[in-house]
Structure 1
């Protein structure tokens, strides 16, 4: 397949979740040449028959050689990826050269790690793109997207949740928080959103002191100063299901700053389960009028 003339061939470094598949499908739709870079034996069933480079964390020289030989000068990182258990006896010469910078970064937060990895790819002459640069419709729209609307108490929880998530993000801890009735039920950390929501499902009821009050909101937004080309927070139908199991009233995300993996499907799931989904501008104070968008 020849690449569309205005689209340079794209390497998709693929992790868990739906995002890598959505990007591959967009490349197919637009006629863009692409390859999936799969690390450490990771091979989801949807990758069968698709162009793939199998890579090892300890051998970056081989990966970069394959990318350059294939004419791939643009790369995007898509999907969750666990920090690897490195095998020092397998380090190639390039990893040994990178180790003094890379290994300390891997002991820091995700943002520091990803900035370091981004710099490594750029030093190899590659352009790093955000997932939203490949598929612009991924970014969350502004306003209430669902049949379910918001109460005055929901808006108050969103404001507090955004403030808490922003504070955690400033320390490179996470990109989300859950707040109900003004109480922080959980803050996202390295374990991720799904684990945080399971924790709220198991423990949250004891802290909702008004049993007829606000049920709570999952709030997600980028870290302050984050490089938006890598690791923007994301939600999808599975997030909505997990929020419902946690007993929450809905999900609030930063408009234009969070990826929605299938907006139509995500809104449909929220409507099915009776949750709201709202995109809020980070510089806008949530409106305290029930049912109105900020």
Structure 2
């Protein structure tokens, strides 16, 4: 196995590859450990693991020289096989089940706690690759006054959703909420808006997508993510642009996002919370 001080605990999607590439540009080759059943895009894992064998996996990381971990990529709750538990991991089951019953945020906090108790520092994407998490700026285009009002309305909705651990995004047009993000995710929300949503005034503001972390969320894990595919879906939904909480959202392939947004006439705005 590759010997490195940092391990990326990864799931599916493009984020693990982007984070691994950012670390390699800084001269570090991380250990890439994928949860079985959730392979990352364009990245070959150094090892795969199962939740039922978590303690042996943590020991393997320690023996490989890992002292710091970061989480990247999408996973859903895996179905656990009781026959695969080792005795030490089995002792963690009540704690994990209790956390899962408390919602996604509680589950993620429990996962972080397990890694920290095993002696690993837990880093966020912003710690390892700050360029992926931009601060306040307008990257492309410019929102109108009506867009700014819609973004403010969407931000209030997303904050309310986050307080009950539901989602991290909303679409608002002309002050009305067209859709909110729930379990199916951002892509499904935008596809629904493209297929069904109608604005009260066809000549009025087109609407915006807004994304932000949940209030009180541990920002070392599960930050919202935007990428070129999001820009294409926003354009297909007929929206005016995308805004997000500055410092709280990951951008995948910024150059491609800017190119897509410029071609579609959309604004991209990292908004000060």
Q: TM-score, normalised by structure 2?
A: 0.94
Q: CA deviation at 1:166?
A: 0.5
**How many Å separate the matches in 2 of 1:199 and 1:281?**
28
CA contact (8 A) 1:177 1:219 kept: yes
Q: Is the 8 Å Cα contact of residues 10 and 75 (structure 1) preserved in structure 2?
A: yes
C-alpha displacement of 1:110:
1.9
**In 1, Cα distance between equivalents of 2:175 and 2:14:** 32
Q: Mean Cα displacement is larger for which, 257-266 or 124-133?
A: 257-266
Aligned to 2:39: 43
- For the residue of structure 2 that corresponds to 1:277, the secondary structure is strand
> What's the counterpart of residue 263 of structure 2?
272
239, 245, 255: which one pairs with 1:248? 239
Q: In the alignment, which residue of structure 1 is the partner of 2:202?
A: 211
Is 1:136 matched with 2:130? yes
C-alpha contact (below 8 Å) 1:53/1:66 kept by paired residues: no
Task: State how far apart, in whole Å, the 1-side matches of 2:207 and 2:57 are.
Answer: 45
Deviations 1:26-73 (A, max 9, x none): 22222214111111144346224xx61210121102211210110111
- Work out the CA distance in 1 between the residues paired with 2:144 and 2:90: 55
- Mapping for residues 49-88 of structure 1, pairs under 5 Å: 52-88=46-82
Residues 18-37 of structure 1 mapped to structure 2, 5 A cutoff: 18-37=14-33
Normalising by structure 1, what TM-score? 0.88
Once the 2 structures are TM-superposed, how far is the Cα of residue 254 of structure 1 from its aligned partner?
Answer: 0.8
Alignment correspondent of 1:15: 11
Instruction: Give me the whole-angstrom Cα distance separating, in 1, the residues matched to 2:43 and 2:246.
Output: 31
- Give the equivalent residue in structure 1 for 2:156: 163
- State the number of aligned residues: 273
Which whole-Å CA distance do the structure 2 matches of 1:255 and 1:44 have between them? 26
**How far 1:259 sits from its partner (Å)?**
1.2
Paired residue secondary structure (1:230) = coil
SS of 1:145 mapped into structure 2:
strand
Distance 1:246 1:274, change over 3 A: same
Deviation at 1:262, TM superposition (A): 2.1
- Counterparts of 1:165 and 1:70, CA distance in 2: 41
Deviations 1:154-183 (A, max 9, x none): 111000000000011111111111101111
Asked whether 1:103 is paired with 2:94, we answer: no
List 4+ stretches of structure 1 deviating above 6 A.
none
Structure 1: 5+ residue runs without aligned partners? 283-294
Q: 1:150 to 1:129 in 2, by over 3 A?
A: same
* Distance in 1 between residues matched to 2:160 and 2:99, nearest whole Å: 21
Of 193, 199, 203, 2:186 maps to: 193
CA positional deviation for 1:133: 0.7
Deviation for aligned residue 1:2: 9.5
